[in-house]
Amino acid sequence: MKVDGRVERGEQTRRQILRRAVDIASVEGLEGLSIGRLATELHVSKSGVFAHFGSKEELQLKTVSAAAAIFSDLVVTPALALPDGGPRLTALMEGWLAYSEGRTFPGGCFFSTVQAEFDAREGRVRDLIADYDRRWTSLVSATAARIPGLTEDPDQLAFELVAYLELANVRSVLHADPAAYTRARAAVASRLALAVSA
Amino acid sequence: MKVDGRVERGEQTRRQILRRAVDIASVEGLEGLSIGRLATELHVSKSGVFAHFGSKEELQLKTVSAAAAIFSDLVVTPALALPDGGPRLTALMEGWLAYSEGRTFPGGCFFSTVQAEFDAREGRVRDLIADYDRRWTSLVSATAARIPGLTEDPDQLAFELVAYLELANVRSVLHADPAAYTRARAAVASRLALAVSA
């Protein structure tokens, strides 16, 4: 029982560290993370943080995966409960906009920040970020492909839809202006109407 | 004459420093810049770099302005030589894609990187980056507004067009995949055709 309690407390600390790490990285990027800083902010020992992550790269990788899990729970899982094709695609779009607009992470979309930070670098962190981006793009594309009667290229449609979401996030954070979400919603709606009626 | 020569050499050093700073920041962000690093890489003294910029913030601000000048020469000036409305808008879009695809800066679009880096922060650097973004958006929007017979909101059209450009840049850098430019070109062409025929 004593051991179990310790394991549980360890897991709780690990989750706390990752949640804080995700929030910091959404504002300052993954290079803004340091084991020392997390230890200070969360009132745990540096060796305690180190025991969980071992290196800055490990911490960055785990932070990316933690953000992906939060994103998935919030945006992907609810959409998958809906019928495939149009309803699911609309839910993915609206779920993404709500995830960004609701500031799930204080710096807006976590992935927008870290993609721009790591896209021109090399290594495991960049590869993981690229992999999550591919999964998201594939999901949007595959969902679009199952809209009954779609006569256009679902990859092209997915590209355009995701572009609206991304720009809404950047604009709203950079200019502290929520109007970008209104533009993105209008763009998604008219683009989907076009895809279905074409 | 001696003084003029010294002034000229000083100006040349200043330009060299800024050109290197823009390239570094396009890959690693503006936080990747340091006076010491630039001095080492360019074989000038730290005090020489310091004499030109004084502080890291000053260096970051001047780097943003230097990147904006390069962007303007490459994308905006040639487009302004064309008739307003459709031809100019098409030139702005194609100029932007060529600027990103041609890797004017090694990390792709300089502004995509530094916007994501600074959008959730506060201060003069963020304000300057936001200001350049507003100018670019206004230019695209004002140019769209002068397409003869445009029946839709030019701000909405500009939002969608810029979204395609931005996503092409991020995707191509993140996945080292030039296909994103093909997608963006197709999106721009069909969106403009729709705007004009509507």
Residues 6 or more apart in contact with residue B163 via CB below 8 angstroms: A160, A163, A164, A166, A167, A187
How near does any CA of chain A get to the CA of B173, in Å?
A: 6
> How far is it, in rounded angstroms, from Cα A64 to Cα A13?
17
A119 and B CB contact within 8 Å: yes
CB pair distance less than 8 Å for B120 and A173: yes
pLDDT over 70 (residue B51)? yes
Minimum CA–CA partner of A32 in chain B: B31
| Closest CB to A120 among B126, B130, B173 | B173
Global pTM?
0.94
Tens digits of per-residue pLDDT, A95-130? 999 999 999 999 999 999 999 999 999 999 999 999
Residue with tokens 């360019």: B42
B174 and A CB contact within 8 Å: yes
> How far is it, in rounded angstroms, from Cα B181 to Cα B169?
8
B31 Cα distance to chain centroid: 17
pLDDT over 70 (residue B2)? no
Q: What is the ipTM of this complex?
A: 0.93
How near does any CA of chain B get to the CA of A10, in Å?
A: 31
> How far is it, in rounded angstroms, from Cα B179 to Cα B177?
6
pLDDT over 70 (residue B144)? yes
Q: Tell me the domains of chain B and their CATH numbers.
A: 2-197 (1.10.357.10)
